[in-house]
Chain A
Amino acid sequence: MEFIQAIINGLLQGGFFALASIGLSLIYGVQKILNIGHGALMVLAAFITIQFSILITPLLHIDPLLSLPFDFIIMAFLGIVAYFALIYKTENQGFEGPLLATFGLSVFIEYVISSGLIIPLPSGSSVTILPPIDPSYGNGAIAQNQHYSGQAVLLGPYYLQVPQLISFAIAIAVIPLLHIFLSRTYYGNAIRATAQDWEAAEFSGIDIRRARILSFSVGAGLAGLGGGMYAFTNTITANEADVSLLPIVLAIIILGGIGSVLGTLLGGLIVGLIISMSDLVAFEVLTKYSFPSDFGLLLTYLIFLAVMMIKPSGLFGRFGR
């Protein structure tokens, strides 16, 4: 009974994990750039969703879920800006340039979230380009979307938590769509070709700059989607995602296989299941032995290491990795 409930919890939470990971997976799979700013983009989107629910929802009675498309669009746009400003010049010269660039992006976004973009003027006053986006000014304690949190629907005798259910539904819809885009459309194939051999892609007449911009901005937009959903399930601080989510996301995308979109989905679901199953075991069995409550996470990383030793390219690894 609890077993089935744990499976349900695990799958739904896994859906959220997959959604949180797919953006990073796309960018890394295509351009071999590890977008360290992924977490910051997620948190920014989360705060935008929170602000939406605080400011717009009471006024216009629009469901905060409708902030998600905005999250995607804003983060995708930021992705394009970040690409031109930071990455474009450095990307063909090894991985250090883009890595530092995305790290800088991460720091910058997190700073703007908690402190805004306020420029002091010589005259003593200051001009506010952007106020702090975090309504609690970095304290995080009250930064949670009150809508949907804590709600659940009943499926027979089992509870389905609504935020996780929504994340799961979005993940199940979006990720296969992304897979179809990559395998069946010209731009999708061009992106894959650029990932496999960018020089050969150039010789074939593919505009690899456009392919990279497209994949980077879609990856950033997807980070926005994941971040928006994150606001429904957690309290968050400005650097929250970097600390708690980014390690799991990294494990998920490597576990599922670099370059495989469906692999990321599977990796997310598996990790969700591992954590919920081990939470179940911890609750039932190990509370007697005061096992740490993060046992699920530990187990995840151990399984991740085991898979890496057996199949380093991940479960569905492709693109020659």
Chain B
Amino acid sequence: MILEVNDLSASYGKIQVLWNVSLQIDSSEIVSLIGANGAGKSTLLKSIIGVVRPRSGSIKFQGSPIKGRRPHSLVGSGISYVPEGRRLFPTMNVKENLRLGAPRSCHDLEQRIERVYSLFPVLKERRKQAAGTLSGGEQQMVAIGRALMSNPKLLLLDELSFGLSPVMFERVLSAIQAIRESRVSILMAEQNSERALEVSERSYVMENGRIEFEGRSSELIGDSRIRAAYLGIAE
């Protein structure tokens, strides 16, 4: 059990946005978090990475409680977060952006960078290019690559499809599956419910800050309620 979230509640100021959320993630699985805009998917990810302070509940990573720890120390412990909208450092080039994802003292820096390049070959061509000048898909690759530079065991992806063409999204999704092959667990919050259900093993469906459904993605995809609400398929 790589991640255990128990009964988590969180608020933005006085407004409660997460209500008693629980989920688990095992090693080497892709778990998707689907739901409408504002359902709380992003907030849940941000609570895990330490940007949002939960009000109650617990979060355990590899058995140890992590609630309240600062984000940069969690990155050092093996959790990486790819934020919604990429959030690269615009005036720095691809290589500099990647480098900053790795710890300060990193003995195998070049190998880590090469691994990112082998996952996303186009980045190697563009390695000296300023990140702000890349296309949306390329930026998404850099953002994922930067998150991989810390050798995470758990990768949190926030709205990967955001601003990407379907072709680009597919390319990125196949990279995600390759990442899972190297025994990294992945929790992806995703608006594109259909694809998210197709690539993940398990899913949690969120509504209004709560988990409404959970289970194997292959079963959820056949569930008529899910199909009606999230896949736009009327029965």
Contacts and interface: CB of A to CB of B under 8 A. Distances in A.
**Are chains A and B native binding partners rather than an unrelated pairing?**
yes
A205 B89 contact: no
Given A189-B99, A208-B72, A203 B92 contact: no
B83 A205 contact: no
A188 to B, nearest CB: 11
Contacts of A205: 71-72, 75-76, 80, 100-103, 150
B90 A199 contact: no
Contact of B96 (A189, A202, A207, A319): A189
B49 A192 contact: no
A89 interface: no
A140 B43 CA distance: 58
Interface in A263-292: none
A186 B100 CA distance: 8
A31 B82 CA distance: 23
Contacts of A204: 75, 100-101, 146-147
B196 to A, nearest CB: 21
A186 B104 contact: yes
A11 interface: no
Contacts of B91: 192, 196, 318-319
A202 B89 contact: no
Interface string A12-43: 00000000000000000000000000000000
A200 B89 contact: yes
A187 B99 CA distance: 12
B83 A193 contact: no
Given A205-B76, A205-B101, A193 B71 contact: no
Looking at chain B, what size class is its interface with the partner chain? 20 to 34
B122 interface: no
A203 B150 contact: no
A206 B83 CA distance: 15
B174 to A, nearest CB: 24
Nearest to A259: B91
Contacts of A208: 72
A186 B71 CA distance: 19
Contacts of A187: 104
B101 A196 contact: no
Contacts of B75: 203-205
24 contacts: A186-B104, A189-B99, A190-B104, A192-B89, A193-B100, A196-B89, A197-B89, A199-B83, A200-B87, A200-B88, A202-B71, A203-B51, A203-B71, A203-B75, A203-B80, A203-B81, A203-B83, A204-B75, A204-B101, A205-B102, A206-B72, A207-B72, A208-B72, A318-B91
Interface of B: 49, 51, 70-72, 75-76, 80-83, 87-92, 96, 99-104, 146-147, 150
Lowest 3 CB-CB distances: which A-B pairs, in order? A205-B75, A200-B87, A202-B71
